[in-house]
Amino acid sequence: MAAEYGTPGAGQRLAVLGAGVMGTGIAALAVGHGMAVSLIDLDRRRLDEVPASIGHQVRMARLMGALPDEADPGALVTGLSLADLVTGDDAAPIAVIEAVTENADAKAKVLAEVSALVPPGTPVISNTSAIPIDELAGAVARPEDLVGTHFMNPPYLIRTVEVIRGARTGEATLDALRALLAALRREPIVVDDAPGFVTSRILHPMINDAVRVVAAGTASAESVDRLMQGCLGHPTGPLRTADLIGLDNLVDSLWVLHSRTGDEGCRPCDLLLELVRAGHLGRKSGRGFYDYEGEQA
């Protein structure tokens, strides 16, 4: 039986696949709006850290006035297996958001498995920053149920969400995603499918160029960011933004763009690759272009 959709609310459950930065951020957004969440990841260590991470993000969101005052936090359940998503007909989630690593093969594998588990009509949502949705649709059981989102980090603070309509995405799927985002008080902007869509296709090559400027010795990371903030109105500067995205995630997205567009400006520059090889991944690792040691993630 196909799942039924109205406005998501009490008694409904969202499933999130992947307990990395974006997966936990999306889960925290939903929990903070009173929605129950099942968060699935294969890494037990990551799952052990999830309650504290999500609790911290929900508290920060409340302090910043980014959550509705009347909402009690939704229940959070974690699991190691996709099979944990569906333990009976009544247990099916209203939607599944995939937020695993930005690798087409890894995403296709997870999406294929989950689309075979959930009832027809359940939106299967890939939170990809660059991989075309129609490319991923070839792996799923029902391409009409697949749609893309691109939440920005942190999801509880940034209200606009890029929504990607694949060539085979159904209107019912888009409507269900709009209802979900409305329940989370997010504003969807629907765009057509292409490598990197809008935000990553513009932002990620620009960050890559900013890193090249630092590598050439023209200016420090701090100077680049201050100029972009003060002169061009960029809220945080491209290099602080890179640290927030995660330099490893940025490199993965740039490789996706490079391989699918042929744009040499999307080839990750050497300094970016060196930082990733050294384990300096940005805010989540404690060091990237800036030092975050001692800060709570």
Catalytic positions, written as ranges:
150
Instruction: Please spell the DSSP secondary structure of the chain, one letter per residue.
Output: -PPP-SS--TT-EEEEE--SHHHHHHHHHHHHTT-EEEEE-S-HHHHHHHHHHHHHHHHHHHHTT-S-TTPPPPPEEEESSGGGG-SSGGG--SEEEE---S-HHHHHHHHHHHHHHSPTT--EEEE-SSS-HHHHHTTSS-GGGEEEEEPPSSTTT--EEEEEE-TT--HHHHHHHHHHHHHTT-EEEEEE--TTTTHHHHHHHHHHHHHHHHHTTSS-HHHHHHHHHHHH--SS-HHHHHHHH-HHHHHHHHHHHHHHH--GGGSPPHHHHHHHHTT--BGGGTBSSSB-TTS--
